[in-house]
């Protein structure tokens, strides 16, 4: 018996005691979770490192490609002076400047906008080969004019801002309506857009943009030339006091082609006549025979028009014209004090 007890004591020393009352606790769960996570980290850390490297490599490739693309584009625009359609699309997204006026930049996109519709018209409507020597010379000359125009447009917009002059969408709509009537087009935008695309490579939005710039320039010129307004209003007052229209036209009209004939056009006028501006036609066909209009701002000058006689769908008509001074005469003074700097030259 004593030996058996000794044997059991020796065995108890060799074997660990198992707690039959062991329970699952927060501590045991935490220990178990840590053991599992420790094993997983051996795989997670290398994977995270790989992802980080991939992200850094991708960003580096993107930056190198972007810098290369911008470098190529800059070289093509400023060194080669390319006017390709691809670069035009690029400048619609990336605001490359073609010139600077004080703190205002002139967008390269506006310059290429002028070039592209010009090239489209002469290639498709006049069949001019711009790869020929004559074509290259003509294009080079137009590039100079296009650059001058977009620079002048910024000066005009600055004047317009100072004077609170703007062009509403309704004014553009009215201008388009006049063009439709003169060309006997329907109100179908598809028809108009097809003509614009054929002639100028324009969408309707491009046409609206061009009209808006044109109307703004005309409104600014009108606001600056107070002398023309004074002369036109004085002539209108004489007509209302009984002065003969033809006699007055010979005395004061600034249209050399019609002045000596009492202001009368040498042809009958109809609504689709392209030799007369749309606004003139609109004003004439609003008159009864023998009536003359108020002073009409035609954009390029001021007119007083008269319906001499109606012949079916045509009119015998006359006008007294007062030209606005060329807006460049006003811009020259501004340019002297606020110089421009072009980033390309010819």
Q: For the segment 300-330, what is each residue's pLDDT rounded down to a tens digit?
A: 899 999 999 999 889 999 999 999 988 888 8
Q: Is 304 found in the same domain as 261?
A: yes
Q: Give the pTM.
A: 0.74
Sheet holding 296-297, edge to edge: 296-297, 301-311, 314-323
**Does 254 have pLDDT greater than 50?**
yes
Q: Is 190 found in the same domain as 178?
A: yes
Q: How many Å apart are CA 197 and CA 175, to the nearest integer? A: 18
Which two structure tokens, joined as six digits, stand for 96? Answer: 């490359």
Q: Is 186 found in the same domain as 109?
A: yes
Q: Is 87 found in the same domain as 220?
A: yes
Q: How many Å apart are CA 235 and CA 250, to the nearest integer? A: 12
Decide if 128 is inside a domain: yes
Which range marks the domain in which residue 73 is found?
26-80
Domains of the chain: total = 3
Beta strands 296-297 and 301-311, pairing class? antiparallel
Decide if 116 is inside a domain: yes
Q: Is 212 found in the same domain as 123?
A: yes
Decide if 250 is inside a domain: yes
Which pLDDT tens digit goes with each residue over 15-41?
Answer: 554 444 445 565 565 655 666 656 655
CATH of the domain at 307: 3.10.50
Decide if 8 is inside a domain: no
Sign of CA dihedral 255, 259, 264, 268: negative
Report in angstroms the alpha-carbon separations of 13 from 6, 10, 16, 151, 346: 11, 5, 7, 102, 104
The residue-averaged pLDDT of 178-197 equals 81
Q: Is 168 found in the same domain as 197?
A: yes
Q: Is 218 found in the same domain as 126?
A: yes
Q: How many Å apart are CA 238 and CA 330, to the nearest integer? A: 30
Decide if 342 is inside a domain: no
**Does 142 have pLDDT greater than 60?**
yes
Q: Is 261 found in the same domain as 196?
A: no
Q: Is 268 found in the same domain as 161?
A: no
Element (H, E) at 22: none
Q: Is 300 found in the same domain as 168?
A: no
């Amino acid at each position: 018996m004593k030996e058996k007890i000794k044997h059991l004591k020796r065995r108890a020393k060799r074997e660990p005691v198992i707690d039959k009352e062991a329970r699952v606790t927060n501590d045991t769960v935490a220990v178990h979770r840590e053991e599992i996570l420790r094993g997983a980290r051996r795989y997670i850390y290398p994977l995270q490192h790989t992802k980080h490297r991939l992200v850094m490599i991708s960003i580096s490739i993107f930056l190198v490609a972007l810098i290369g693309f911008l470098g190529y584009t800059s070289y093509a625009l400023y060194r080669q002076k390319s006017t390709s359609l691809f670069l035009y699309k690029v400048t619609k997204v990336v605001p490359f400047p073609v010139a600077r006026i004080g703190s205002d930049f002139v967008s390269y996109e506006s310059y290429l906008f002028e070039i592209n519709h010009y090239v489209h018209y002469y290639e498709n409507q006049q069949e001019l080969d711009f790869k020929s020597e004559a074509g290259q010379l003509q294009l080079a000359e137009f590039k100079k004019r296009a650059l001058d125009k977009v620079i002048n447009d910024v000066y005009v917009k600055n004047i317009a801002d100072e004077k609170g002059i703007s062009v509403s969408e309704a004014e553009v709509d009215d201008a388009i309506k006049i063009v439709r009537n003169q060309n006997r087009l329907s109100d179908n935008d598809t028809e108009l857009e097809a003509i614009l695309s054929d002639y100028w490579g324009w969408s309707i939005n491009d046409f609206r943009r061009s009209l808006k710039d044109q109307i703004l320039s005309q409104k600014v010129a009108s606001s600056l030339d107070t002398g023309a307004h004074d002369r036109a209003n004085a002539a209108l007052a004489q007509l209302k006091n009984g002065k003969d229209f033809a006699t007055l036209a010979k005395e004061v009209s600034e249209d050399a082609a019609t002045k000596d004939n009492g202001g009368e056009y040498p042809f009958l006028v109809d609504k689709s006549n392209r030799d007369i501006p749309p606004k003139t036609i609109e004003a004439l066909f609003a008159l009864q025979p023998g009536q003359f209009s108020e002073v009409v701002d035609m954009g390029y000058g001021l007119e007083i028009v008269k319906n001499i006689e109606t012949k079916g769908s045509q009119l015998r008509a006359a006008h007294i014209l007062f030209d606005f001074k060329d807006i460049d005469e006003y811009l020259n003074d501004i340019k002297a004090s606020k110089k421009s700097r072009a980033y390309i030259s010819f």
